Structure 1
Amino acid sequence: MGPEFWLYFAVGFAAQLVDGALGMAYGVVTTTVLLAGGVTPANASASVHAAKVFTGAASAISHIAHRNVDWRLLVLLSIGGVVGGVIGTYILTSVDGDAIKPYVVGWLGLMGLVILYRAWKGARPKPFSWKSPLPLGLTGGFFDAVGGGGWGPVVTSTLLGSGADPRKAIGTTNAAEAFVAAAVSAAFLAALVSGHWETDGLADHLWSVLGLIGGGVIAAPVAGWMTKVLPLRMLTWIVGLVVTGLAVWQAVILFG
């Protein structure tokens, strides 16, 4: 258990705290950090979703305990998210990692700007006009799998922009993410076992994944409580600046 574990433990802890309070940012932050460490997009997404199975379950339990979950919304979002996530995983494992990385970095940068926009306006934007949670979950799951992050920025922002209760929107989105992460992880495993996806170096990220899991699971019980008490606008600024800055850094490395 070397310094790599503790680095990702800290990243997972901080990302899960913010994710629990904002309903977004765990996948975006952790994927961006992995990409900055030279991990390929598919390996980064697989690693983050493996971690989110555990952190998402812990977060779901916390939000359920704090009565932050709308059960009907949870079911519909989860069904759509599972289908979209599996489709996104198939596409991500079908293309060359170097070819898709610029698009993934661009997507993360866009999510960073969306988060900054939320902080600047002090209100919730409405990036999508769909009112039905099923297609919303489908879209969120797809972009979450392809980009390694995006479930929260797409789903939470849309729900809040549609006038949903903030506690229910954030809590339900976090709870549904556990099911999406499990489906995406299973899809990555199926692609690997069937030979559809051939990858090298995935096992090298074991300590990174364990660190993300450890930090996230410890932070998750606090996250449900943070939804009620912390100044969300300040956290939104911090997350937006961090994600956008890391995405710009990756773009400079890719194109510089």
Structure 2
Amino acid sequence: MQTCAEHLPIEIWLTIFQYFEAHDLFHAFHNLNNYFNQILASNYLSFYVRLRETDNNHLQNSISPYWSDSVLNRIVHLRSLVQSRSYYFFEFLHWHVNKLIRLQSLSIKIYSRDAPYILFICQALKQLNVLEYLSLTCIPNQILLKAILTIPTLHICQLILRETTTIINQHFNVNSNIKQLLLIYLGNVNYSLINLFLIHTPKLKRLEISGSHFSFDQVSIFDKQLCTLIKLRILKF
């Protein structure tokens, strides 16, 4: 008996498609036949998207198969792979952030040349109502850190921090719901920044700090704040 792919239950294909990146998925199955088009259009199918520099044409044409509303509102994971022209990613957010109603995971790299987009990124973060995971590579500043700490649904946060000379005020009226925090320093360690996060993350359960310039001997600088984190279970340096 000959078996065709179309004979498999749709539930199996939905499970298989969860392992595909959205571009690869559409390249392989879009317009293959009506059966697979129906699966791709299913509201039960969510997407993982890696945005690349070659996607700039799609950013300007929101009715393309990739960025139709029916696709945008099913994106669950979004990651930027753009480096030399990172404004493409910010343009994508500008045009589509209000359609990313299911986005739970976001990974962004912000370079020094992207400073003009910082305020916009902060505004975009406020519109992501179900965001649970954030990975951000950046030069930290007051506005950006406050925006991160005020995301009510954020539970896991990874910050890859470049060196900064900006003085950041530790005292502002914000308490975050972050439960897992990973701080990776690419340059000299800013211990006052660590202290800031400890002050404003009372629900923290896991804390990891790493970097070539991080010294365990300096932990005493913020050990008083560690003692106030009654839910902290894992501490890793």
Structure 1 length normalisation: TM-score?
0.22
| Pair member with larger Rg | 2
More strand by share: 2
Asked which structure has the greater RCO (Cα within 8 Å, sep 6+), the reply is 1
